[in-house]
Chains A and B, each alone.
Chain A
Amino acid sequence: MRFEGTLDIAAPRDRVWSFLTDPTQVTTCAPDVQSLDVSDPHHFKVVVRAGVGPIKGTFSMNVQFLELERPKHAAVLARGQAPGSAVQMVSNMDLSEFDDTHTVMEWSSEVTVSGMIQQVGARLMQGAADKITQQLFACIKTKLEASVPI
């Protein structure tokens, strides 16, 4: 499943870049974070709860920055599992400076779900994955545009 979008973020590009590439900041936009464990600047582990309605899973995600071209481009691989299920999300973010205070972020995410959730929830997954992905990026915009970092 591929999702993409373009965000106009009212924040300077450097600030957007540091937010996106800082595990402690960017994970504040992940759904329902249970724990975060940063092993090195390029790798971290985050446990999140995500789902739709009563279908909710705890996903233990290993996240890795695959590409970092400061301050223009980042690619992130997040791979994790819930019981009997696995999820993988490869996200690409391209930042361009609209002006000093505005950044345009083009993002895309390729989400693969395998196992139980895929089998039992296939008919619901497209919608759920879309929603979770949209929320993630919408949250990034909101946080960056807040006058004080939330």
Chain B
Amino acid sequence: MAVETAPATTTGTRRMKVHVTVNGQAHEVEVETRTLLVHFLRENLGMTGTHIGCDTTNCGACTVLLNGRPVKSCTVFAVQADGMSVATVEGLEKDGKLDPVQEGFHEEHGLQCGFCTPGMMITAAALLAANPDPSELQIRQAISGNLCRCTGYVNIVKSIQYAARKTRETAGGKAPDGG
């Protein structure tokens, strides 16, 4: 069949300049409107910490914060993020200091191959920002949109519990703010 290149309409646009703040830094890039946010981050901005693990919005490897909320960046068009802030794994470490979530994943062996880890950590960081003292069930529910094939999740839960403890202990532990 023919490539379904829809006829150009007079009301829309095929390319668009998007302004997105990623980890606090402003970017302005012209993209095709069909560009997925995850490709925008990886290909246009060269930030390859955010991964792609599926094509059906199931695995969560591509999780980023969009205006502070964890979303699957494979299921958002970059143009939708115009004017918004995005936070990715590359922004977790601040001023050379690891985020408690990063520390927790290392201390509690919450990662093996590391492929799901960025998305998993972003989800965890958002959870702790909203709920500094989650129960095990709340942690499991929160990460149920992120698939991991290596760890069996037990140590991921422990990693997030570690980060929660650490955040509570550290006065003024700053939550990720998406920018």
- Show the binding face of A for B, using Cβ within 8 Å: 47, 57-60, 80-83
Chain B nearest Cβ from A34, distance in angstroms: 8
Q: Mark B1-28, 1 if CB is under 8 A from A, else 0.
A: 1101000000000000000000000000
- Could you say which interface size class chain B belongs to? under 10
Name the residue on A nearest B56 (C-beta).
A120
- Show the binding face of B for A, using Cβ within 8 Å: 1-2, 4
Chain B nearest Cβ from A60, distance in angstroms: 4
Chain A nearest Cβ from B77, distance in angstroms: 16
A60: chain B residues at CB < 8 Å are 1-2
A57: chain B residues at CB < 8 Å are 1
Chain A nearest Cβ from B160, distance in angstroms: 33
* In the bound complex, CA of A83 to CA of B1 (Å): 7
User: Interface residues of A: mostly helix, strand, loop or mixed?
Assistant: strand
Chain B nearest Cβ from A37, distance in angstroms: 13
B4: chain A residues at CB < 8 Å are 58
B2: chain A residues at CB < 8 Å are 47, 58, 60
A58: chain B residues at CB < 8 Å are 1-2, 4
* In the bound complex, CA of A80 to CA of B1 (Å): 9
**A58-B1, A59-B1, A60-B1 provided; 10 other pairs, C-beta below 8 A?**
A47-B1, A47-B2, A57-B1, A58-B2, A58-B4, A60-B2, A80-B1, A81-B1, A82-B1, A83-B1
Chain A nearest Cβ from B47, distance in angstroms: 30
* In the bound complex, CA of A57 to CA of B4 (Å): 9
Chain A nearest Cβ from B26, distance in angstroms: 34
Chain A nearest Cβ from B58, distance in angstroms: 13
* In the bound complex, CA of A70 to CA of B96 (Å): 84
B1: chain A residues at CB < 8 Å are 47, 57-60, 80-83
Chain B nearest Cβ from A81, distance in angstroms: 6
Name the residue on B nearest A81 (C-beta).
B1
* In the bound complex, CA of A58 to CA of B4 (Å): 7
A83: chain B residues at CB < 8 Å are 1
Name the residue on B nearest A58 (C-beta).
B1
Name the residue on B nearest A59 (C-beta).
B1
* In the bound complex, CA of A108 to CA of B2 (Å): 29
A80: chain B residues at CB < 8 Å are 1
Chain A nearest Cβ from B78, distance in angstroms: 21
Chain A nearest Cβ from B1, distance in angstroms: 4
Chain B nearest Cβ from A97, distance in angstroms: 40
Nearest 5 CB-CB pairings of A with B? A60-B1, A58-B1, A82-B1, A58-B4, A81-B1
A sample of 13 cross-chain residue pairs with beta-carbon separation below 8 angstroms, ordered by A number, consists of A47-B1, A47-B2, A57-B1, A58-B1, A58-B2, A58-B4, A59-B1, A60-B1, A60-B2, A80-B1, A81-B1, A82-B1, A83-B1
* In the bound complex, CA of A60 to CA of B2 (Å): 8
* In the bound complex, CA of A83 to CA of B4 (Å): 10
A81: chain B residues at CB < 8 Å are 1
* In the bound complex, CA of A132 to CA of B1 (Å): 19
Name the residue on B nearest A35 (C-beta).
B2
Chain A nearest Cβ from B95, distance in angstroms: 46
Name the residue on A nearest B4 (C-beta).
A58
